[in-house]
Homo-oligomer: A and B are copies of this chain.
């Protein structure tokens, strides 16, 4: 029965979209591209594209990320999040989108041209208020991605994905504070993150002049889970 209807209906297209997040200028930003063609011509959209032949979903996500940003996607933290298939979510026809979240440090974007379309960082905080800045239902995809990132920070080590290869504990704390929109006690945060085995590996270096005592530099260690979690709510 399902097979019959599959043969008699126009089959849905499968797309892969990416919510690429970074922390810059003290706020969470998302990577968007300006659409060159209808529908939603000229509007911002999450980067993405249709699944190609012989390609797994994860491969498609990596390919799209490389095409849109010119970055080596293999080194980024990228994870499948959710699929969206509401009828009418794409005016061209039936499209099921598999959404991926990617977290990356604040790197310069390649200029538009070649494979890469014009890509921009826009602050996520601008979005909740503004009415439908993004094409399709990408507003919803982004909201889900941000919420997932927020929750994931507390019990995993992915916050380091927002940081450059070497960073201070203060920069790591900035990530938590900016993504969560809260303030964390510097002393307790320091004690917490340095107490998790294999989370932060000291490199021996010291940070340069930032108007305070130089901080020790760390790189991300092999740990992926935080036990116990770093709590976001003070209400326990």
| Residue positions of A touching B, CB distance < 8 A | 1-3, 5-6, 9-15, 49-57, 60, 80, 82-87, 94, 96, 98, 115, 227-229, 233, 235-236
| A contacts with B: majority SS | loop
Question: For residue A154, which residue of chain B has the nearest CB?
Answer: B155
Contacts of A12 in B (CB 8 A): 11, 14, 51
Question: Within the complex, what minimum Cβ distance (angstroms) separates A115 from chain B?
Answer: 8
User: In the complex the two chains form, what is the Cα distance from A11 to B53 in whole Å?
Assistant: 9
Task: Tell me whether B96 and A51 are in contact (CB under 8 A).
Answer: yes
Task: Tell me whether A56 and B2 are in contact (CB under 8 A).
Answer: no
Contacts of A98 in B (CB 8 A): 83, 85, 96
**With contact pairs A57-B96, A83-B57 given, residues A6 and B2 touching in the complex (Cβ less than 8 Å):** no
User: In the complex the two chains form, what is the Cα distance from A146 to B13 in whole Å?
Assistant: 29
User: In the complex the two chains form, what is the Cα distance from A87 to B228 in whole Å?
Assistant: 39
